[in-house]
Amino acid sequence: MYMNTPIPTTTSDPTKQGGRIRHPRIASTIEECQLMLTAGASADLILVCGPTGVGKSTLGHFLVEEELKQQAEAMAGQPGFIPAIRVEAPASGEKEFSWRLFYQRILHALEGELDAPRSAYGVDPESGRVVRPRGNNTNRLSGLRTAVERSLRSRGTRFIVVDEAVHMISQCPPSRLAQQLDTLKSLSNEYGVQWVLLGSYDLFDLMSLSGQLARRTHVIHFSRYRLDQESDVRWFSGCIRQLAKGMSALQSVDVVCYAEVLQQTTLGCVGTLRTVLMRLERLVASKGWSEEALCTALLTEAQVTQITLEVLEGEERIAPGLHRNSLSIQTNQAQKAA
């Protein structure tokens, strides 16, 4: 673990953000992401894999927000500078991943701020609408790609966080997946943009596509809080306390005394915990506090069973891939390969 932060803190209005907090597990993952982002070309792709409900979307928001804070002075001196953005990989319902929609979302994130100067690829500076530029047709995929390239160059964007990146896998035939990821890698090579892909454990399968891709990729496991680790139990209780503090109907309820059952039924995932507590808050506000209300707010046994299977399978898959052998074993393997 990279950071020892025993007390979770709220960094935004919990009532508006659903209790978005910076807790120890997310803090350590952010630090590792930031470390790899300084690695530049040695890590074009950063894969952040974790179980459902662990808080990957919150992580993406924090990463971009912190970069914008760190670059605030530079952005003030250069209004068109946008160092980082966050987009969600589209699930368009099509048979294959929609690069057209993906490019459009990137353009909206880079060119949607009305107070920033427009880059000159076909955006009306007064209306903010995309207009057809001379030369490239933005109705074509190639035109959108060119527009993204020009915008990245003009904005000086350092990295792009892609939430729900697993959609890039699930909507693409295996034979074309490596080719699609080469598209991201080419933008990294040409414009120095790094990609932070957030997703489930299925995202880890990208490592097996090619040796070249694996060489330029860094994998981060955004893990849950475990009941068999004392520090995790303590930190998870802190998350419960901090989240409940931002929910008015729960402020008079000692929710922390149910920490064990909450950690068991949410599998130690703070995103799932937030959902359960928000549901509980609505029930308490409507009918008052009772253990029956808590039971109603919890996930069903069937839900817990299904999520548990997915989490355990994912952790088993990712653990060998993140294991570093000793130097002596690596040396012996290298000698044998030679």
User: How far apart, in Å, are the Cα atoms of 241 and each of 8, 23, 139, 163, 262?
Assistant: 9, 11, 50, 27, 12
Instruction: Name the amino acid, one letter, at 332.
Output: N
CATH number of the CATH domain containing 102 = 3.40.50.300
Same domain? For 163 and 302 the reply is no
Please give the pLDDT value at position 327. 47
Parts of the chain with a pLDDT under 70: 1-19, 39-43, 113-139, 171, 173-175, 207-214, 321-338
Same domain? For 180 and 270 the reply is no
Contacts for 35 with CB less than 8 Å, ≥ 6 apart: 2
Residue ranges of alpha helices (H) inside the chain are 14-17, 24-37, 56-70, 72-77, 99-111, 141-155, 167-170, 174-191, 211-215, 230-245, 259-266, 270-287, 291-297, 301-322, 327-337
Identify whether the C-beta of residue 235 lies closer than 8 Å to the C-beta of residue 272: no
Please give the pLDDT value at position 91. 84
Please give the pLDDT value at position 295. 97
Tokens 């969600």 — which residue?
Answer: 88
Please give the pLDDT value at position 323. 58
Sign of the CA dihedral with 263 first, then 237, 56, and 245 last: positive
Domain assignment present for 62: yes
Same domain? For 127 and 273 the reply is no
- For the record, the structure tokens of 134 come out as 């001379």
Same domain? For 51 and 158 the reply is yes
Please give the pLDDT value at position 277. 97
Please state the domain count of the chain.
2
User: How far apart, in Å, are the Cα atoms of 57 and each of 96, 115, 209?
Assistant: 23, 26, 25
Please give the pLDDT value at position 167. 86
Contacts for 190 with CB less than 8 Å, ≥ 6 apart: 149
Same domain? For 192 and 102 the reply is yes
Domain assignment present for 161: yes
- For the record, the structure tokens of 164 come out as 């729900």
pLDDT tens for 26-71 read: 999 999 999 998 865 566 889 999 999 999 999 999 999 999 999 9
CA dihedral 212, 213, 215, 217 (to 10 degrees): 170
Same domain? For 210 and 271 the reply is no
**Which one, of 172, 213, 223, lies nearest residue 48 by Cα?**
223
Same domain? For 273 and 299 the reply is yes
Identify whether the C-beta of residue 59 lies closer than 8 Å to the C-beta of residue 221: no
Please give the pLDDT value at position 114. 38
Same domain? For 148 and 237 the reply is no
Domain assignment present for 13: no
Same domain? For 195 and 238 the reply is no
Backbone torsion region of residue 89, taken as left when φ is above 0, otherwise alpha when ψ lies between -120 and 50, otherwise beta: beta
Identify whether the C-beta of residue 193 lies closer than 8 Å to the C-beta of residue 159: yes
Please give the pLDDT value at position 130. 52
Domain assignment present for 321: no
Same domain? For 170 and 290 the reply is no
Same domain? For 133 and 213 the reply is yes
Residue numbers of the domain that contains 300: 230-313
